[in-house]
Each structure stands twice: as C-alpha cells, then as structure tokens.
Chain A
Amino acid sequence: DVKVTQSSRYLVKRTGEKVFLECVQDMDHENMFWYRQDPGLGLRLIYFSYDVKMKEKGDIPEGYSVSREKKERFSLILESASTNQTSMYLCASRFLDSTFGGRKTEAFFGQGTRLTVV
C-alpha cells in the first residue's frame, strides 16, 4: 500500500515563526502536491512538484515556499507564519503514468496537518 506521511497531525505556531511541514511518500512517485483545505473553500493548490528539485506554483503560493531535494520528500515552508495561514494542510503524491500522460493515476493523500497560528 502507498503511504504518504505528514510529520505532524496538529501544530501550533506563533505569528512570525518560520514553519516547516514535512511530507514523505514511499512509492517513488514523481508528482507531489501541497494543498490547504478550509471550510467552504475546498482544497486549494499551493505548490506542486513533478520531479526532484522541480516545483511550480499552484493557485495560492503567496507566503509559502517548497523544497524537493529528494524524490520521496516534499516540504512546505511558511516563511513568516500569519494567522490567515491557520488551516488544514494536505500533502499528496501521484505516479506519472507515461502511457496515459498522467491522466489516470490516483493521488494518495496524507492524513493532514492542522496548523494553528496564534
């Protein structure tokens, strides 16, 4: 079974702190994603990566950065945490099937990190 592990289930940080959210997958997937989930807003894509050291901005990248130094690990960094970054953060990974150009493959999610910035 594919496993996507997020380092913390719950995290409380102070405004202005630098926050690291870690995500590790064990299935050699090329594609990794960071989303935040807020009530009424669904899952919004922050950043994604399609290979080691490759990253692309999603729909709401402001205030965030990412790092993908190894294939299995994708880190989300909040440079200076603010209260409006209080949210549930979900990491996902996906295999890119070269036959179908990634159209059919499933995204596997971690259990999420509920971050509260006070």
Chain B
Amino acid sequence: GESVGLHLPTLSVQEGDNSIINCAYSNSASDYFIWYKQESGKGPQFIIDIRSNMDKRQGQRVTVLLNKTVKHLSLQIAATQPGDSAVYFCAEKETSGSRLTFGEGTQLTVNP
C-alpha cells in the first residue's frame, strides 16, 4: 500500500549545528504533511506542517521543504540543541478525515 518513509534511521549532530531530516512519500495524492517529534515516554508532538500548494514553510528554528516532483519532504532544524534529541516522524494526512500515515522515524542525537 501507500507509505511514507524516511531515508536515515539515525542522525547524530553537534550542538549548534544545523540538522536535516529527510522523508520520502509514495502517495502522489497526498496534499498535507506534518512533522512530529517524539521524546522518550511521550506521545508525538506537532512541530510544523505544510500543504501541497507550498514548497517551504518556516517556524521557530525549523523549516519544512516539500518537493512534490520527487515526493520528498525535509525538516531543517537550525542551531540544534540537546533538547532537540528525539525521534522525528513525517506524516501524511489525507484530504478528508483525520488519518495520519507515518514514516519510520529518525532518531536525532545532539552531542554537547
């Protein structure tokens, strides 16, 4: 079936560096994408979202890029901090309803 997946299972960066987490999706009909952060023992936490009619959206220290041509999504975290260490998931949301299809997740580790 359709799926959303991540290229890298783990990413280790130094504090202060910029981090880039990538995601590939396969459903060309997807029109809404979300990045979630999940810390140990907690549920996923919304970071940023983007609709398919956009190719870039910025938040506080985070930027999401969408390339519909190659079905690729990325999350950029500026000046990565130890508190950013977590598992990051991309997710696709269908046009109607609330169903989310999640990618595999990337474990981000920030070294002090």
A binds B: no
B→A interface (CB under 8 Å): none
